[in-house]
Structure 1
């Protein structure tokens, strides 16, 4: 009897968690094995759900205690179905001045949901491509950080801007 109660509890918990995320349109992660090389591009493909609604885009980053910086620079390319590309260089704060990592998480892994585009219209029908690259540099150095330690996963998320 106790096992069936535990299963029922987890089923109810799962349905609550998934129903609370009704604004999610797309959400995917790719693991970064050990270090994130500056030439490694993390890519996501998605199909425009609607060409008239607005959406919010997020880059999701999971990091562990091996991450030694207080910020993160990324180059993000958004490729449209008919060939147009928008390239953005983005900077995100990853830690407080005390060194404590920002983000959600109870153990050594922190997850950050970082704004990328707000109220964006996917104006073309078809498949879009998002490419994300790390672009970290150390102060006073010209060359970028070749291998970035401490990033475990890179994600991309799209949410409806209207509440469902």
Structure 2
């Protein structure tokens, strides 16, 4: 239930025209996402006085065999400070229905909270390194993973 409330909150907030600071997706090869392959995101941050949300966007195929996905995320500040996080994203409910929206062509896109209401402590380029944390050596049926940073209004 909390997940549905969070998805609804994010959908409403995102639809209300929040300023988007960063939005980038990394396409995953058709052959799968190897556990050692890193999705890399570099975001230039110039606003220190405004709060923002960091969101992870997952696009999966209908044939994806799990109802969730785990990510290990290294966030590196411009001064080199490293934060390591583990994030679980629920992609389907108990009956197998996919969360998020259908993109057609057997694809589903869902947006998940990573960090909410944060302020960046310094200006510059923040780097995010994302790997999947599933038990599969090669994870199949994930089409892309993305990072969005939106301003809180």
- TM-score of the superposition, structure 2-length normalised? 0.85
Query: Quick check: 2:49–2:119 contact (8 Å CA) kept in 1?
Result: yes
Query: Quick check: 1:52–1:123 contact (8 Å CA) kept in 2?
Result: no
- Offset of 1:20 from its aligned partner? 6.2
1:80 aligns to what? Answer: 77
Superposed CA RMSD: 1.5
1:49 aligns to what? Answer: 46
Aligned pairs (5 A) from 1:1-164 = 21-34=17-30, 35-107=32-104, 108-136=106-134, 144-162=135-153
Query: Quick check: 1:79–1:129 contact (8 Å CA) kept in 2?
Result: yes
Deviations 1:4-55 (A, max 9, x none): xxxxxxxxxxxxxxx9644211111110002111101101101113112111
- Name the SS of the counterpart of 2:48 in structure 1: coil
C-alpha distance in structure 2 between counterparts of 1:48 and 1:96, whole Å: 35
- Offset of 1:62 from its aligned partner? 0.3
Structure 2 CA distance for partners of 1:131 and 1:96, relative to 1, 3 Å: same
- Offset of 1:66 from its aligned partner? 2.5
C-alpha distance in structure 2 between counterparts of 1:134 and 1:124, whole Å: 28
Structure 1 runs not aligned, ≥5 long: 1-18, 137-143
Query: Quick check: 2:18–2:152 contact (8 Å CA) kept in 1?
Result: no
Structure 2 runs not aligned, ≥5 long: 1-14
Structure 1 residue ranges, 4+ long, deviating more than 3 angstroms after superposition: 19-22
Larger strand percent: 2
Q: How many residues align?
A: 137
Deviations 1:43-93 (A, max 9, x none): 110111311211100010100122100111111111100010111111111
C-alpha distance in structure 2 between counterparts of 1:106 and 1:40, whole Å: 25
Structure 2 CA distance for partners of 1:106 and 1:61, relative to 1, 3 Å: closer
